Chain A
Amino acid sequence: MKIVVASGKGGTGKSTFSANFAWSISRGRDVVLVDCDVEEPNLHLFFSAGKSESGVTMPIPVFDTGKCDFCGKCGEFCRYGAIAVLPEKIMFFDDLCHSCGGCRIICPKEAISETERVIGKVWDAPVDEHLRLITGVLDEGEPNGIPVIKAAKEAAEGNDLVIYDASPGTACPVIETIEGSDYVVLVTESTPFGLHDLRLAAEVVRKLCIPAGVVINRSDGEDDETEAFCREAGLDIHMKIPFDREIARLQSRGDLFSVAMPEWQERFFELFEDICIRTGGAP
């Protein structure tokens, strides 16, 4: 089973939820937790574990200017603007390239080959015998995190239960993370901004036809508007995590509040069982 934790708005507590949710489930069965927020991965801050690292690369074109006659077909083809063809020079903008390989195919002189460019890495950390953390890390300055998300997801393939922590927002990285999953947990907060972005995120999962439910984090008990929206959108509210000083204190030290507060461990596991029933999967 594949469960994604997403939010729309940043800072609602996606990673807090993911870390506590995954850890709590892992007391009862094996879990792989994948940090797909590759521009700012942070789940590793909750867990101390040695890790192995592998590079993530993407193919980019190499131009043989001996064969090239500067016809300009490759630049014309590239919809990402990664190639400019001058009268006697090719300029390549590697940060704009999406690795589609089209320039290589379209070149009439077969002057284009490919090489690999490193854009990030994947960390693989066995937290304990039941929990494994995989983290996608996009290198600083790189604009396109999608290949790193793909690589992190791939590293988790073949496991029965995988939880993916998505990046904030509702753009390509979130859709890449959500695609192919069985269930999405949308984490929101009791603010107008939280609700605004929850609406956007709910629309994304609706369009992708993936069942979803909501967790309200830092709930101040006045969640009427969020509750009304969820009723309207047909989204069940699975859980409310209160705006609580003790939770904030544990969290700010990098601790898992579900470790210090065992009643939460139970609640997270129950939430997992509930999702299993909803998706028809076995807990």
Chain B
Amino acid sequence: MKMCITAKGDTPDAQVEERFGRAPFFIFHESEQDTYTAETNVFADAAGGVGPRSAQVLIDHGATVLITGQLGGNARRALEGAGIEVYQAVTGSTVREAVTAYRENRLNRIL
């Protein structure tokens, strides 16, 4: 299974970014191989419409789970339409910690 975690940096030890569409990085985690791949979010500084466009990135990557902080209305609609489950990370946690918390069912599902 592929999941996406919004992050402030491009490594698994970076902190989770609370904003979805404006996160500096998307980190994709493959649970079977336990690999992390970072991708710069090219929409981080875009003027608008970042929610659906970021959702499109997840859709194109085939991610089925998203771990982030908060979602805007349009992002929510797009992710919901794509059937992507969304979980809220604990503030200040790292990407790796958030993935562990997800595996242990400790994260709050927000979508």
Query: CA A10 – CA B53 in complex, angstroms?
Result: 33
Whether the Cβ atoms of B53 and A81 lie closer than 8 Å is yes
Whether the Cβ atoms of B49 and A81 lie closer than 8 Å is yes
Query: CA A211 – CA B43 in complex, angstroms?
Result: 38
Among B4-12, B24-32, B55-63, the stretch in contact with A: B55-63
Interface class of chain B by DSSP: helix
Closest Cβ of chain A to B83, distance in Å, is 9
With a 10 A CB-CB cut-off, give which of A78, A81, A87 has the most chain B CB atoms: A81
CB neighbours of B60 from chain A (8 A): 72
Whether the Cβ atoms of B82 and A96 lie closer than 8 Å is no
Q: Among A82, A86, A95, which residue has its beta carbon within 8 angstroms of that of B82?
A: A86
Q: Among B46, B48, B50, B55, which residue has its beta carbon within 8 angstroms of that of A84?
A: B55
Say whether, besides A84-B55, A86-B82, A91 and B49 are in contact (CB < 8 Å): no
Interface size class of B (residues with CB under 8 A): 10 to 19
Say whether, besides A78-B49, A80-B49, A86-B82, A93 and B77 are in contact (CB < 8 Å): yes
Whether the Cβ atoms of A81 and B59 lie closer than 8 Å is no
Whether the Cβ atoms of A96 and B56 lie closer than 8 Å is no
Interface bits A80-106 vs B (CB < 8 Å: 1, else 0): 111111110101010110000000000
Closest Cβ of chain A to B18, distance in Å, is 20
CB neighbours of B59 from chain A (8 A): 84-87
Whether the Cβ atoms of A96 and B81 lie closer than 8 Å is no
Q: Among A72, A89, A93, which residue has its beta carbon within 8 angstroms of that of B52?
A: A93
Whether the Cβ atoms of B81 and A81 lie closer than 8 Å is no
Q: Among A72, A85, A87, A96, which residue has its beta carbon within 8 angstroms of that of B49?
A: A96
Closest Cβ of chain A to B85, distance in Å, is 15
With a 10 A CB-CB cut-off, give which of B49, B55, B74, B81 has the most chain A CB atoms: B49
Whether the Cβ atoms of A81 and B51 lie closer than 8 Å is yes
A-facing residues in B10-49 (Cβ within 8 Å):
43, 46, 48-49
Whether the Cβ atoms of A79 and B49 lie closer than 8 Å is yes
Query: CA A268 – CA B27 in complex, angstroms?
Result: 62
Interface bits A60-88 vs B (CB < 8 Å: 1, else 0): 00000000000010010011111111110
Query: CA A87 – CA B82 in complex, angstroms?
Result: 9
B-facing residues in A165-189 (Cβ within 8 Å):
none
Query: CA A85 – CA B56 in complex, angstroms?
Result: 7
CB neighbours of B49 from chain A (8 A): 78-82, 93, 96
Query: CA A89 – CA B55 in complex, angstroms?
Result: 14
Whether the Cβ atoms of A81 and B82 lie closer than 8 Å is no
CB neighbours of B50 from chain A (8 A): 81
Q: Among B46, B48, B52, which residue has its beta carbon within 8 angstroms of that of A83?
A: B52
CB neighbours of A81 from chain B (8 A): 43, 46, 48-53, 56, 74
Task: Show the binding face of A for B, using Cβ within 8 Å.
Answer: 72, 75, 78-87, 89, 91, 93, 95-96
Complex A-B: 12 CB contacts under 8 Å: A72-B56, A81-B43, A81-B49, A81-B50, A84-B55, A84-B78, A85-B56, A86-B81, A91-B81, A96-B48, A96-B52, A96-B74
Task: Show the binding face of B for A, using Cβ within 8 Å.
Answer: 43, 46, 48-53, 55-56, 59-60, 74, 77-78, 81-82
Sort A-B residue pairs by CB-CB distance and give the 4 closest, nearest first. A81-B49, A81-B53, A81-B52, A80-B49
Known contacts A81-B53, A91-B81; 19 additional CB pairs below 8 A are: A72-B56, A79-B46, A79-B49, A81-B48, A81-B49, A81-B50, A81-B56, A81-B74, A82-B52, A84-B52, A84-B59, A84-B82, A85-B56, A89-B81, A91-B77, A93-B52, A93-B78, A96-B48, A96-B74
